[in-house]
Amino acid sequence: MSKQTKFKMGSENVFADLGFPNPEEHLLKAQLVHKISTVMKERKLTQVEAARIIGVKQPDISNLVRGQFRVVSVEKLMHYLVALGHDVEIVVKPHRDSEQPAQLTVA
């Protein structure tokens, strides 16, 4: 006897699907942290080196890359990227899809 697996299609925001408070902000933070992690890999930076450049302690970087960034503000994460040599540009534009909610994204 085979069992049929039931599933429900989620949204584009896993944090909303899981019922997190402020899911849009959490997704934005996750995207920024992913960008920080990518920059570290591209530059072959250790957590210690990245922490020194950013001006934090190594355990703070460890927490970030392990997904523990709830207490870190979006603004602070953007400053981390600037410290790592990246421009951060905020673009506000009209939302074009009336069927979907407007969103925050990192490009």
Helix axes 23-42, 58-65, angle to 10 degrees: 120
The answer to whether residue 7 is domain-embedded is no
Task: For residue 5, tell me if it sits in a domain.
Answer: no
| CATH code of residue 24 | 1.10.260.40
Number of structural domains found in the chain: 1
Going by C-alpha positions, the residue among 38, 50, 28 that lies closest to residue 60 is: 50
Q: One digit per residue, pLDDT tens: the chain, 107 residues? A: 567 777 777 778 888 888 888 888 999 999 999 999 999 999 999 999 999 999 999 999 999 999 999 899 999 999 999 999 999 998 888 878 777 777 777 77
Instruction: For residue 14, tell me if it sits in a domain.
Output: no
Q: Which pTM does this prediction carry?
A: 0.81
